[in-house]
């Protein structure tokens, strides 16, 4: 029996008509809160009931940025970006990820998706054992991106470290090559927990939102339990930070990540003058005066012993912490070529950093071994 032609074609015409009238939701409809951070200020995830896709909205992702807002469309189910959207489009479930900072590998590892890393910048400086176990299959594209190598990777997204206008040439090239990218801004978060919360951004682009949220949820629980140990301490020692670099001694603000950790560990950051939202260089004479008064001195560059610290500058021998042997450095976990796991994994382990610092400033409260920090002798 012959089926009339119109019987076959009519359903097809209906389908085609439906496709022709289908439209993507407007950008204005992406106003539902899919994820609102508890601690981070630099991102939020927005959505709409009319689409499975989401928008990651990132604010001021580098130091000194003002009124900078970037949006990234995370496409699901083949949905196209809204009309008028001109930011990067990243297909949800990204499997081939290039990390321009080691901390991004730690974030992916925190919720069990580090195998998605296809490229890194500076393999020899990484500490993650799961990365090192398959280092032969991960491409090191170098600190200055080798674009030929990058193209060969066919990445789904490149995670960039925000350094402002200096990255314009990089993003222009990535656009030219049609390679999606995303600026991460965790490093300017003032809250240690806010830094860690950026793992949810990576969970969103890998389509592992719930895994990321759950992995992060446990971190504040551990952190706040440790912080509670110092809530009632009566003696809060003063703490100096850092060493000079090229005759410039850069000190974080009182609102910074490290100042917050020091305070939560039951100590007092000694430099109160900088109350801005960024670090600032101070005069060497000012710094020398501070080290003569500070009870503790931490994060002292590459120094591994007190003698090596004093060899950097004869005036360091006069530091109160040097005389009292209360100098601690965050370089217990280093690679043979000088990589430091503190700058890699501590972003997702602020609770471990806090535990170390409590152990340093108030050893009567904790007897744990130090993980990131070491006592200089």
Mark residue 325 as left, alpha or beta (left: phi above 0; alpha: psi -120 to 50; beta: remaining): left
Average pLDDT (115-140) is 96
Mark residue 67 as left, alpha or beta (left: phi above 0; alpha: psi -120 to 50; beta: remaining): left
pLDDT tens by residue, 14-54: 444 444 434 577 898 999 999 999 999 999 999 999 999 99
Give buried/exposed letters for 304-320 (b at 16+ CB in 10 A, else e).
bebeebbeebeebeebb
| pLDDT class of 165 with cuts at 50, 70, 90 | low
Average pLDDT (105-123) is 97
State the Cα–Cα distance between residues 250 and 316, nearest whole angstrom: 16
* Residue 13: predicted pLDDT: 41
Q: What CA–CA distances, in Å, run from 164 to 67, 75, 121, 273?
A: 13, 26, 18, 26
| pLDDT class of 374 with cuts at 50, 70, 90 | very high
- Torsion sign across C-alpha atoms 5, 10, 15, 21: positive
Comparison of pLDDT for 46 and 165, the residue scoring more: 46
Express as a percent the part of the chain with pLDDT over 90. Answer: 82
Distance, CA of 96 to chain centre: 19
* Residue 162: predicted pLDDT: 79
Q: Are strands 43-47 and 32-35 parallel, antiparallel or unpaired?
A: antiparallel
* Residue 166: predicted pLDDT: 59
Which H or E run includes 129?
Answer: helix 129-132
Express as a percent the part of the chain with pLDDT over 70. Answer: 93
- Any bridge partners for residue 281, and if so which? 250
């Amino acid at each position: 029996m012959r089926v009339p032609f119109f019987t076959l074609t009519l359903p097809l015409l209906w389908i085609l008509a439906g496709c022709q009238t289908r439209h993507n939701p407007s950008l204005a409809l992406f106003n539902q809160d899919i994820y609102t951070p508890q601690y981070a200020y630099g991102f939020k995830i927005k959505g709409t009931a009319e689409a499975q896709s989401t928008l990651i909205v990132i604010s001021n992702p580098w130091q000194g940025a003002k009124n900078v807002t970037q949006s990234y469309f995370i496409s699901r189910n083949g949905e196209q970006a809204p009309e008028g959207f001109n930011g990067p489009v990243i297909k949800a479930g990204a499997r081939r990820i290039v990390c321009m900072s080691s901390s991004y590998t730690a974030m992916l590892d925190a919720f069990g998706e580090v195998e998605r890393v296809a490229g890194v910048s500076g393999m020899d400086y990484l500490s993650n054992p799961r990365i090192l176990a398959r280092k032969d299959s991960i491409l090191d594209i170098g600190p200055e991106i080798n674009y030929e190598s990058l193209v060969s990777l066919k990445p789904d997204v490149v995670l960039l470290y925000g350094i402002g206008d200096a990255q314009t040439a990089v993003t222009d090239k990535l656009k030219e090559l049609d390679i999606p990218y995303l600026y991460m801004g965790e490093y300017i978060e003032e809250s240690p927990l806010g830094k860690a919360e950026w793992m949810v951004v990576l969970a969103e682009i890998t389509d592992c939102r719930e895994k990321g949220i759950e992995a992060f949820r446990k971190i504040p629980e551990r952190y706040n339990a440790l912080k509670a140990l110092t809530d009632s301490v009566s003696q809060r020692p003063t703490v100096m930070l850092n060493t000079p670099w090229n005759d410039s001694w850069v000190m974080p603000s009182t609102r910074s990540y490290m100042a917050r950790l020091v305070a939560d560990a039951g100590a007092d950051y000694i430099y109160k003058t900088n109350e801005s939202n960024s670090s600032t260089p101070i005069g060497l004479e000012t710094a020398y005066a501070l080290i003569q008064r500070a009870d503790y001195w931490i994060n002292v560059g590459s120094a591994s012993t007190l003698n090596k610290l004093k060899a950097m500058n004869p005036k360091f021998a006069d530091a109160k912490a040097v005389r009292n042997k209360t100098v601690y450095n965050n370089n217990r976990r280093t690679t043979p070529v000088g990589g430091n796991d503190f700058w890699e994994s501590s972003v997702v382990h602020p609770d471990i950093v806090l535990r170390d610092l409590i152990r340093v400033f108030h050893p009567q409260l904790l007897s744990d071994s130090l993980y990131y920090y070491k006592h200089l002798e």
